[in-house]
Amino acid sequence: MNKVKKASLLATICLVLSIMIGIDKTSASGTDFVIQEDQFQYYNDGITVTDTTARNGFAGKMSNTSENWNISHIRSDFSDLQPGRSYDVFMRIKVDHTAANPTGNAFAFGVWDNTYRDYILPLKTVPSSQTQDMTWKEYRVGTFVPNLSVNQLVFFVAGTDNASQVSEIYVDEIILKPHESIVIEDSSFILHNSSVLTSSPLASDNSAAVLYNGPGSNWNIQAPIDGTKLRADETYDIHAIVQIDRADWNSSAGDIFGVVVYDSTTGTYPVPPKVYSTSSLETQDKFKFYIGIKINAAPLALDPTHVYHVSFYQVDNAAQFPSIKVDQVSIVESQINDNPEQLIKVKPYKISPGNQDDLNDSAGITYSLSGAQTISAKIVDSSGSPVKTLVNNVSQSGTAKISWDGKNNANAIVPNGMYTVVISNPSGELYKKNIQVITGVALNDPIAPAPLVARGTWFEGGEIPFQSTARISYLNNSFQDLKDANMNMVSIANWNGSTALYTDTLDRAAAYDIQVMAFPMAYATFSNPTLENDEIALYNQINDRIAPIKDHPALYAYVLKDEPMNLDIDHAHFLRNAKRMTESIDPYHQALIDYVTPEYTEFHYGIQQTQTLLTDPYGAAIGYPIGDFTHYMNHPYYANIDYKPYLDFLHILTKKDIQNRAPWWTVVQNYGHEPTGLRDPIPAETRAMTYLNIGHGSKGFLYFIYQTESLWEGMVDENYNRGPKFGTVQTLFNEIKTLEPTILSMTKIANVATTIGGGNTTSSAHPNADVTTHENLATGDKYLVVVNHNCLSSANVTIKIDRAKLGMDITEIRDSLTNASISYTTYPDRYEISSLAFAAGDGKILKLTKDTTQSVYVGQDSDLNMFGGATKNNADVSASDGKTAIKLVGAANGWDVQWSWDKSRLVPGATYDLYAVVKIKYADDLYFDANGKPAFSIPSGNAFSYGVYDATTNSYPFGTTTVQASAMENMLWHTIKIGTFVPSQTNNQYAYIWPADNPANVYAVYVDKLYFVKQ
C-alpha cells in the first residue's frame, strides 16, 4: 500500500482497526484472573480464616489497628494474562463494624511497583460509611496493563488504624477482570421515524441501524448509555462504527450526518450537535466497509445517575448521501492507568540468553538523567547480590543506552530468574527495573519456497462480509475476477474476523486456483507492545492465529506488516523475531513484510531478511507528465529518488548477500491518490512500469489495488464492476504468464546495450528507451529488456549491443513473448537492431542466443591464485558456477587475483580475446545529503585495474587498464574485455585483477571467472 495515504488515512484506519479489534464478535472477552487467600502474603496479625461466606470457604483477615499492608499479594509473572490486555483490578472485601454507624475510613488498597518504588494504581481509601457490616463487596482499584513490565508488583489491602469504628478487614479475592468498553449494539438503539434495523453483511453482527437523510434534523437513531456501567471517577470517549452510503462514489460531497450527545437529566449537551461532512477528518476518505469515528473532542465526565443518549440525526443532503448505517456505539475510558512513565526502560524485559539464538538474547536499557552526574549501573539478583557491573562511576548526562546480555561478571550466562538493573549515583539509587531471564522458544529453519512469478493484487480484507452467505458470494465473485485476470496470488490486508472467515477465504481461493498471502488479525498481533517483551507470549499468539489455516493448500505466505516506517531497532528486531517464529511454527510458508521507501526498506530488510523482498515502488506523480517517473512519491523528502535507480537499489538489497536466493517482488502502481501526491497512471504507464520492474530484476507483481477504496480507484469500481484497469492488468498478466519461465531464468547483470529513440516526449526525463541486460546462468544466453518511455504514442527504437561487454557471439535474437525473430546487423564492435517498433509504454524481452560453436577456455575462480587475503570458492548464487573469488578492499592492495592458464588448452599461434567477469560492492548504497534527505551512492575513485603480465620477459602484452568505481553497477556482474593477443606457448604469462586502494568507496571486488574466446 502507498506511503502518501499515511498522513490523512492512517489515523482513520488505526481508529477503525482499534475499534473493530476491540469489540467485534471474534474478539475473545477473556476470563477473570482470580487470586485467592492461599496466594496472599500476611504481615503482623494477618491470617487465613475459615469463612463459609467466602467463595471457596476461606478468606484473609487482619485487624484494623494500623495502616500496614497486612494482606498483600506479590507477583512478577503475568504470563497467564492476555498480552497487552487492560485489566480492571477489584478486591472482594468485607469489614466488621464496631460502631452502629461507623465514621472515618474503613480500609485502603492499591497496587505498588516494588521494583521501581512507585504506585502502579494509586492508594485509594474507602470511607466506613460506604461499607456494610460483614457484607462482601467488590471494590475497584483501577485499570492497567499487567504485563507491560515484569517488575514485582504488590496488590495490597491496608488498615486505617480505626478499630473503634471498623475492627476487622476480610479479603476474599483479588480479581483481575479483562477491561471491557461499554458497547451499545444496534439492537439496543431507540429508532424513530424511518430508521430501522437492517441486515448488513459487513457489520460484525450482520445487523445495523439505517439513518435515512432528508429534510430536517431528526434524532432518528438514539443509543442510550447504561449509566450503571459508568464510573464517576473516570472520563470517557465515545466512538461509533458507521458505514456511509454515497449516491456517487466520485462526486458525492457535503454534509453526511449529524451526531449529538444529550443529557436528558439536565437538558444539556455534553457534545453539541456536530455535522460530519466530506471535509471532516474522520469522514473525508471513502470506504465501503465500516469505519470508526470518535464523537467527542475532549474527554467527557459522565454522571452515572444521569440519562444520556448518543443520537444520530439526518441532514438535508440525501441526493449526495442517501443514508448511513450505524453498527455500534462504544463508551471507552479516556485513559487507562497503565504503568506510570518511568525514567528507565528495558526492552525486552524478558530475555533468553541461554540458547544464544539472537532472539531476545539481551536487553536494551535506556535511562534519562536530569543533569551531568557520576553514574553506576549494575545487575543484581533477587536477593540484591551483585551479578554484573554495566557502568562503573562514569560521568553521564541526558539519555544513556546500555545493554545486558544475560551474563555475570565471570562472563557466564546467569540462571533463569528475576534480576534487577539498578541505576545509581553517589547519593543513592535513581531507577530500578526488573529483567526476567527465561528459557526461550525453539526456532527451526524454514523450507525455501519453490520459485514462481507472482501475478496478483492487493486486496482489502475489510470488504469480506462477516455473514456467511454474503461472504461466500463475495469471495466467489472476487476470486472469479482474479482468475479471469490471469492471477495466481492475492495479498489480503486487514484480514480480521472469525475462523470461518479465514477458512472460507482460503476454500474459495483454492476453488479458483488462487493462493493467499495474509495474516489473521495482523494489526492486533504486531502492534502489541507487550509481545515485544515476551517471546513465549508472541510465539503462542502467532501459533493461535495461524493454527486454523497453516495446513490449507491455498495459503502461500503470511504478510506480517505493511510498510514499517521507522528506524526503531527494537521494532525491527521484533518483526524479525515474529518472522522467525512464524516460519518455525509453519516452516512451509514464508513470512513477508511489505517494505516502502529507500531508508526504511534497507534498514528493515537488512535486519529481517525475509525470504522474498516485497516492496512498494511507485513513480507516477502529480505534477509530472505522462511517462516521467522521476520523482518518487512526489514528496520533497525524496527529491533525490528517481524511479529507475530506486528499482536498482531495491534489486541489489537481496544481492548484497551473495548467498541470498530471495527474489524481489513489487507492488506495481495502478492507482492514484489525489490530491496527496500520486496520480492515476494511464494504461501505457502501468505497462511501462511493469516492464521496467521486470527489466530491473523483479520476479513478482502485485497490482495495487483490486477494489475501489478511499481516494483510489481499483480494478473494479465501487459496485465491483470491472473497470479499465482490470483490462490493463488482465493483458499484462497474460503476457507475464507466458514469460514466466524466461523471467525466472534471468539474472540481472551489468547493462551491455544502449538505445536511441523511445524516450519520454513530455519532459527531458528518460530521453531514450530503458534497456537492461540479464543472463541465463544455465545456458549462457542473455536477454535485453527494453521499455518505451513514450507512453503517449508508439516509437521506433534502435538498440546497440556492445560486443566487448557482451563477451560472446550470438546466433539469433528473438522476442521472448511472441518468439518472433528480430533482425539485427553484426558490426566488429556491436550488434545493432534498427528501428524496432514499440507501442506506447510497451516493453519487450529480447533473447540473445549464445553461439555455442565458439572455442572457449574458462578459468573458474577455483583455478585462480589468491594473494593479499583474497579468497576463492565462496558460494555465490549469481556466479556462473555458484562460486566466486572475493577480495575485501583494504588500504593497500596488489595483484590479488591472478590466472596462470594452462598453455596446452590454447591453440599455438591463435589470437584470443581474454575476458574477466567481475563485480564490486559499494561501500555505501544509500546516504543522506546536506539537507538530511536520502540519496543513492555513486562511488568515486577507481574500482580495480586489470592486465596481463609476462613474467618471463618482465613485460606486458598490453598495459594495465583502470576501471572507475562509478562505471561498475553495484553488485552486478560486468564482463570486462581484458584484451586481444596471442598467448605465448613458452613464457610464463598470467592475467591479474588489482583492486584499487579505495575502501571508502568500494567494499569488495568479486571475480567469477576469466576466459579465452578464440577468434
CA gap 943, 949 in Å, rounded: 20
Return the minimum-mean-pLDDT range out of 156-170, 323-337, 497-511: 323-337
Largest CA distance in the chain: 123
Question: What is residue 565's three-state secondary structure?
Answer: coil
**At 473, is the secondary structure helix, strand, or coil?**
helix
Task: Give me the phi and psi of 412, to 5 degrees please.
Answer: -105, 145
Q: What is the pLDDT of residues 543-567, one digit of tens each?
A: 999 999 999 999 999 999 999 999 9
Q: Pick from 811, 864, 803, 804: which is nearest to 832 by CA?
A: 803
Pairing assessment for the beta strands 770-776 and 746-749 based on DSSP bridges: antiparallel
Which amino acid does the sequence have at 901?
W
Pairing, β 664-669 against β 613-615: parallel
Say what percent of the chain tops pLDDT 90: 88
Question: Are the C-beta atoms of 612 and 662 separated by less than 8 Å?
Answer: yes
The amino acid sitting at 207 is: S
**Statement: residue 529 has pLDDT above 90:** no
pLDDT band at 18 (very low <50, low <70, confident <90, very high): very low
Burial class (CB in 10 A: 0-12, 13-18, 19+), 468: middle
All residues at 6 or more sequence positions from 402 whose CB lies less than 8 Å from its CB, including other chains: 364, 365, 377, 390, 391
Q: What is the 3-state secondary structure (H, E, C) of 810-861?
A: EEEEEECCCCCECCCEECCCEEEEEEEEECCCCEEEEEEEECCCCCEEEEEH
Q: Given a cut of 70, is residue 728 above it in pLDDT?
A: yes
Using an 8 Å Cβ cutoff, are 739 and 761 in contact? no
What 8-state DSSP symbol labels residue 357? S
Range name among 11-20, 230-239, 292-301, 358-367 with the lowest pLDDT average: 11-20
Q: What percent of the chain has pLDDT over 70?
A: 96
Which pLDDT belongs to residue 148? 78
Mean pLDDT, range 83-110, rounded to an integer: 96
Question: Given a cut of 80, is residue 38 above it in pLDDT?
Answer: yes
Nearest CA among 607, 575, 635, 569 for reference residue 933 = 635
**Amino acid 16: pLDDT:** 31
C-alpha pair distances (Å), 787 with each of 346, 691, 837? 52, 6, 11
Q: Residue 677's pLDDT is what?
A: 83
pLDDT, tens digit, for every residue of 159-213? 999 999 999 999 999 999 999 999 999 999 999 999 999 999 999 899 999 999 9
d(CA 88, CA 30): 12
- Which residues touch 760 (CB under 8 Å, ≥6 apart)? 625, 627, 628, 766, 767, 789, 790, 791
CB-CB contact of 319 with 217 (8 Å)? no
pLDDT beyond 80 at 2: no
pLDDT category of residue 4 using cuts at 50, 70 and 90: very low
How many angstroms separate the CA atoms of 97 and 165, rounded? 6
**Which 3 state secondary structure label does DSSP give 6?**
helix
- The residue type of 769 is A
Q: What is the mean pLDDT of the chain?
A: 94
Alpha helix segments (H runs only) across 547-682: 569-585, 598-608, 643-655
Closest Cα partner for 109 from 39, 174, 34, 167? 174
User: What integer pLDDT is reported at residue 3 of this predicted model?
Assistant: 29
Residue 519 makes CB contacts below 8 A (sequence gap 6+) with 495, 525, 545, 546, 558, 559, 560, 582, 591
Residue 23 scores a pLDDT above 90: no
951 CB-contact burial (10 Å; exposed 0-12 / middle 13-18 / buried 19+): exposed
Residues 683 and 618 sit within 8 Å (Cβ to Cβ) = no
